[in-house]
Amino acid sequence: MNKKFITIVALIALAAISRFLPFAPNFSPMGAIALFAGAFIANRYLAIGLPLIALFISDFFVGFYGAGMIPVYACIALFGVIGMFVTNKNNPISILGSSLLGSVVFFLITNCVFLYTADNTFYPTSLSGLLQSYYAGLPFFKNALQGDLLFTAILFGSYYLLSVNVPFLKEEKAS
């Protein structure tokens, strides 16, 4: 393993550990971790797999909800794919746009899928129920969006500051 990859993994691990802090519901570093990994890890399997492994391990401690978590894991993987398309990792607008896109996609998919699960005893499985679900989820979306934006800024910003000061980080992607 090279030093750049170890630095990226260390930043991801630190962000994942923050998942144990008492944040508001849905305020989490996981979307930002996946976005960051997708942007900086060249190996596509590691870029997607590393955040999923971090999510899986931390879920054992903060709460794992069984098969209902499949859409969450899929959306975290999508965050990683979005990160793979961040072409300018030093451009705040590009990074912000990618984080916003990931947050919105996560919200839309997980709320839609929830509507059709056995856990849904709240909303009818119709367009009206879906809209009710989205409306009721807005406070959670706000928390998720704030977490995604904050942790994205921390991860990409920290890496940028390190790359300006540490010569071996100036390369494009880690393996």
- The four Cα atoms 141, 143, 148, 151 give a dihedral, to 10 degrees, of 180
CATH number of 3-168: 1.10.1760
Helix (H, G, I), strand (E, B) or coil at 28: coil
Determine the pLDDT at residue 64.
73
Q: Which residues of the chain have pLDDT under 50?
A: none
CA distances from 44 to 12, 16, 82 (A): 16, 20, 12
DSSP 59-116: HHHH---GGGGHHHHHHHHHHHHHHHT---TT-HHHHHHHHHHHHHHHHHHHHHHHHT
> For 85-99, how does the pLDDT look when each residue is reduced to its tens digit (9 = 90+)?
998 888 999 999 999
Determine the pLDDT at residue 118.
67
Determine the pLDDT at residue 174.
56
Domain-by-domain residue ranges, the chain?
3-168
Predicted TM-score (pTM) above 0.85: yes
